[in-house]
Amino acid sequence: MFVRKFAEWFSGIGLERADATVWSTVASAAASLVAAWLVYVVLMRVVIPVVLRFVAYTPVKWDDILFNPRILKVVSELAFVITARVTLPDALVFYPKYAAVALTVCKVGLVCVVVHLVNRFLLALYDLLESNSSSRITTLKGIRQMLQVITVLVGIIIVVSILAKRDPIAIITGLGAAATVLMLVFKDSIMGVVAGVQLTLNDMLRPGDWITLPARNINGHVEEVGLTTVKIRNFDNTIVTVPPYSLISESYQNWRGMRESGGRRVNRSFTVDVNSIRFCSAEELAAFRREPWGEAIEPDMGYVNLTLYRMYLEHYISELPELRTSESMIYMVRELAPTPQGVPLDLYFFTEQTVWKDYEHLQASVMDHVFASVVRFGLRIYQAPSGLDLKRLAPQE
């Protein structure tokens, strides 16, 4: 051991035994700390720059994230603590109390650095998954935060066990008695962690999703899915934060499926006045047959103007360039059950315009065409009488 060789050397130059012990201990402790510092410096000034150059030279990107300067700096700190842990207690062998204190400090420092390294690695792994995957991975932020909290809690338990000189299992067992109190104090956090894991694993929510939650007056895009809160920006630019468990216990609507399918449903209806429904004349049928949509009209059959109007609207919808069709995306013009106001016609189709503004403009243009073309078929759209209509019907004085 170096400390004993130092003691022999100091005794050899004429120092008393007690003085030789003191000076050999000081020299050995200083040499231990200097060695640990040199290991840290060599790693920071020599090894890490070489590793970073090699990482930057490789064509892949995952190593740039996993071997980033922050993680490598913590690795250097870990090497410093390990070196001190191995050498410093032996340097204080002549002073057992100081050696025990140094050993305890080194153990606590080692636990703290390892916890720091694990948290840095979790951050880097999260960044790697987020950069190489879809937006679904970003919902792992809650799980990442949960793992970080667990890592810190485990580190705290180990540090307490080192300072108390007790088995960590015994400390964890002792905490069981306070579990009820902790559950009451951290109820929201615990529920948020569980709900966040459910939201993530079941792929129920991702940042960027458009959700509506009428019970809480929420209608906007998810900005962040955290451990205890979900941040949502409403369309009026107000920010709403809700606990994750509220999205588990309450019903909400997620519009992600509409965006991923590339088709948004249009479902608009209007009511036709029953008094305007009649059979078409031969002249009307002849005019309609000259149009592309009317080629299937038989001249010798009687057609109702409402039937032909439905055929016309279906053809009009089929010619829309924004129409989206698939096995699950059909289009039709259907007739609903008559009401006291008339016969409702319902337009049902899907459009590739999923952006709100473009979607609303398309709906408006389709309905404008419906209102303008209804008169060609001798039909009238029902409209409740207004005050002006009643005034016209009133007897003139």
Span 204-252: which CATH code? 2.30.30.60
Task: Give the span between the Cα atoms of 150 and 153, in whole angstroms.
Answer: 5
Yes or no: is domain 262-377 CATH 3.30.420?
no
- In the chain the first and final C-alpha atoms are separated, in Å, by 125
pLDDT at 31 exceeding the cut of 80: no
Q: What is the pLDDT of residue 397?
A: 56
Q: What is the pLDDT of residue 101?
A: 82
Q: What is the pLDDT of residue 132?
A: 66
Task: Give the span between the Cα atoms of 344 and 240, in whole angstroms.
Answer: 39
pLDDT: is 338 or 63 the higher one?
338
| Mean pLDDT, residues 245-274 | 87
Write out the DSSP string of 278-326.
-BPPHHHHHHHHTSGGGTT--TTS--BHHHHHHHHHHHHHHT-TTB--B
pLDDT at 196 exceeding the cut of 60: yes
**Confidence class for position 327, pLDDT limits 50, 70, 90:** confident
Query: Do 139 and 211 form a contact (C-beta atoms < 8 A)?
Result: no
pLDDT: is 181 or 346 the higher one?
346
pLDDT at 39 exceeding the cut of 60: yes
pLDDT at 195 exceeding the cut of 70: yes
Q: Which residues pair with 348 in a beta bridge?
A: 267, 332
Q: What is the pLDDT of residue 234?
A: 92
Q: What is the pLDDT of residue 10?
A: 47
Instruction: Look up tokens 């579990």; give the residue.
Output: 179
278-308 confidence digits (pLDDT tens): 999 888 898 999 998 988 888 778 899 999 9
Q: What is the pLDDT of residue 135?
A: 47
Structure pTM?
0.54
Q: What is the pLDDT of residue 147?
A: 80
pLDDT at 146 exceeding the cut of 70: yes
pLDDT: is 4 or 180 the higher one?
180
If we measure between CA atoms, which residue out of 175, 252, 173, 242 comes closest to residue 211? 252
If we measure between CA atoms, which residue out of 179, 202, 378, 353 comes closest to residue 275? 378
234-245 confidence digits (pLDDT tens): 988 999 988 888
| Least confident segment among 7-21, 94-108, 113-127, 274-288 | 7-21
Give the start-to-end residue ranges of the domains of the chain: 2-197, 204-252, 262-377
| Mean pLDDT, residues 146-156 | 82
Which range of 71-80, 154-163, 346-355 scores highest in mean pLDDT? It is 346-355
CA distances from 66 to 45, 115, 118, 124, 140 (A): 19, 16, 12, 5, 17
